Structure 1
């Protein structure tokens, strides 16, 4: 099975596309690091109470703020590892981000389908909008994931074809290094 392959993105090679995707997600997560504490402090302002606002009730537990900040920091670290792995051709550094994003894509797909099927009191127009927006978000996320995945596969194929990595030492050197006492 050859799978789905992406050769590039927007006229650029996979290396450049992976670099741009990594930088974009780092910038978005830095913005999230700045935005989250500001929203957290302003959530219950302007007359909102815990009963009136869902976001205000969300902020009563400070662990939610810690979770949001720590997940952004972990995402920034994983994106930096992905960029470094792509630039230095070390595909193993790209794998943690690919696994996390694959899980995230599955959860995104599941959440949108759960909203469509389990929540009964949504109008048909709202269901269609959720369906369209959900599939658009999933399609863009899957495409970006496939770009990074194909860059990882490209690096893996190049490293497996490197003849110097797979050459055996001369027989005399092998016998000398791995001498077995009989």
Structure 2
């Protein structure tokens, strides 16, 4: 696809943690994240890094290691950007991250992000706005922008229209909405 990616995993699990049957795997410590970033820096590659993308984080300490990585990359390449997917949970299962992660995401990572990519549950969690309407979604996005990111891309606003998949892109000047029919795709294990 023309993109060279350097994955630095925070966890390696057999499957999503929301399965009732459980999961197996491991969470990597924050120091391992720092060591891999240091290795890329040692060979002069951080200047070539154009973006850092973070997703599920298994501990509050990992959040700080990601923040350190973002700072190092941006020091090496001022044009690099940071995309934070603040994975916290969903409406059916609630919060799925360990204690302290939600606070670190809100306090440390989201303010330094150029783009945040929450779902409706996560957006409501960190803004304190219950989302039942388009007005609520716009209000929550405005509060999210006040944290510091330039863009908020809400992956799924499930409460806006039944039977549709709705996403919203919020900038300081406007909000854009896109919808498509929701597809019933069964999960097969």
Same fold (TM over 0.5): no
Interval of TM-score (by shorter of Structure 1 and Structure 2): under 0.3
Higher relative contact order (CA 8 A, sep 6+): 1
TM-score (norm 2): 0.19
Structure-1-length-normalised TM-score: 0.20
Larger Rg belongs to: 1
